[in-house]
Amino acid sequence: MRSSLSQILAGVGAAAMLFADTSAFGGDGVNITVTNDGVEDIYVSVYDSVTKAPLAEHQRLNGFTSITITANPDDAGAANISWTTISVDNRERHCGQGSRAGIENDATVNVHADSSCQ
């Protein structure tokens, strides 16, 4: 009986740790607005440079529209992302890429497809 009670209490303690405040570990993440800064409709993929995970994959952004993503913070509490784009129009294909580090919460990152694709 005593070992069963110990196991239950250990399980409750472990569950409580799962729901504990994670602000010391970066909280809920860094919210970023990704904006197509041109008139051309594009597809954008955004990657978290901290975890190497995709945050948006082949997401269509019409001209001058935005999406909001959440990235994991680094040790300093800022986000680091990389992005690639490709134009929707197959007749005159354009691409773009970039990266940005040290992004604070609620920042905007402009993306575009204004280079030739290689």
Per-run averaged pLDDT (10 residues), the chain, 118 residues = 52 43 59 97 98 98 98 97 97 96 98 94
Tokens 């993440």 belong to 29
pLDDT of amino acid 28 = 86
Q: What pLDDT shows up at residue 23?
A: 41
User: What pLDDT, on the 0 to 100 scale, is given for residue 6?
Assistant: 52
Predicted local confidence at residue 14, as pLDDT: 46
Cα 53 to Cα 94: distance, rounded to the nearest angstrom = 24
Which domains are present in the chain? 28-111 (2.60.40)
Q: pTM of the entire structure? A: 0.76
How far apart, in whole angstroms, are the C-alpha atoms of residue 53 and residue 75? 17
Going by C-alpha positions, the residue among 73, 65, 83, 64 that lies closest to residue 103 is: 73
What is residue 75's predicted lDDT score, i.e. its pLDDT?
96
